[in-house]
A and B are shown apart, each in its own frame.
Chain A
Amino acid sequence: QVQLQQSGPGLVKPSQTLSLTCAISGDSVSSNSAAWYWMRKSPSRGLEWLGRTYYRSKWFNDYAVSVKSRITINPDTSNNQFSLHLNSVTPEDTAVYYCARDGIFDIWGQGTMVTVSS
């Protein structure tokens, strides 16, 4: 049974970097058939895809245009997890952040409420 467990701070100051981790159990971040996603949900923007990482003989990343200049998604094969780093955050980045696995998107992390405030 595949599970995703998110961790990271719930409060980030403006201009700093938001960092979250998604630990995978029951599957591998290096799977040749899965991709690993970050999404978020906010009142102003609804549900929004942020980016993904996946391995197909080498690592690939895709990012949403809206955050492309500020986002990095990194796989961590040693700990079988992947991380989200979003720099130069503003209050507009306040949202509930989710990690998820593709395929049929039946597997999601529990969500992390992140508030950007001083």
Chain B
Amino acid sequence: DVVLTQTPLSLSVAPGQPASISCKSSESLLHSNGLAYLYWFLQKPGQPPQLLIHGVSGRESGVPDRFSGSGSGTDFTLRISRVEADDVGVYYCMQNSHLPLTFGGGTKVEIK
């Protein structure tokens, strides 16, 4: 199975400051069709995961442009350019390039 390793485990960020979360894969997420199926989600208590980024860098409709995804192969990053209070929660990366679908362990983001 593909193992996704997220760092850091937690992040405390002052409002307006940037934040960055890394997701490293145990093998390349480049599918045979040339695409990489790497996603980023934010999960808040009592809610299902909310899609932020699909296909490495595609921002979901309605997601602020403060959120951006990048990377290729085995190294991927989610960046928040200016953290706001509503960004608190646990962030997960997920891959669906290879079965079984797997998730990273999560990064908890809190506001200073």
Contacts and interface: CB of A to CB of B under 8 A. Distances in A.
Interface residues of A, number: 18
Given A106-B60, A108-B48, 6 more contacts: A46-B103, A102-B96, A105-B39, A109-B48, A111-B47, A111-B48
B54 A105 contact: yes
A105 B58 CA distance: 12
Contacts of B39: 104-105
A108 B49 contact: yes
A98 B47 CA distance: 10
**6 tightest A-B CB contacts, nearest first:** A108-B48, A104-B54, A47-B103, A49-B101, A106-B51, A111-B48
Contacts of B51: 104-106
Question: What's the dominant secondary structure at chain B's contact region?
Answer: loop
Interface of B: 39, 41, 46-49, 51, 54-55, 58, 60, 92, 94, 96, 99-103, 105-106
B101 A110 contact: no
A47 B49 contact: yes
Nearest to B51: A106
Interface string A40-74: 00000011110000000000001011000000000
22 contacts: A37-B101, A46-B105, A46-B106, A47-B92, A47-B94, A47-B103, A48-B103, A64-B100, A65-B100, A98-B48, A98-B49, A104-B51, A104-B60, A105-B41, A105-B49, A105-B51, A105-B94, A105-B96, A106-B54, A106-B60, A111-B47, A111-B48
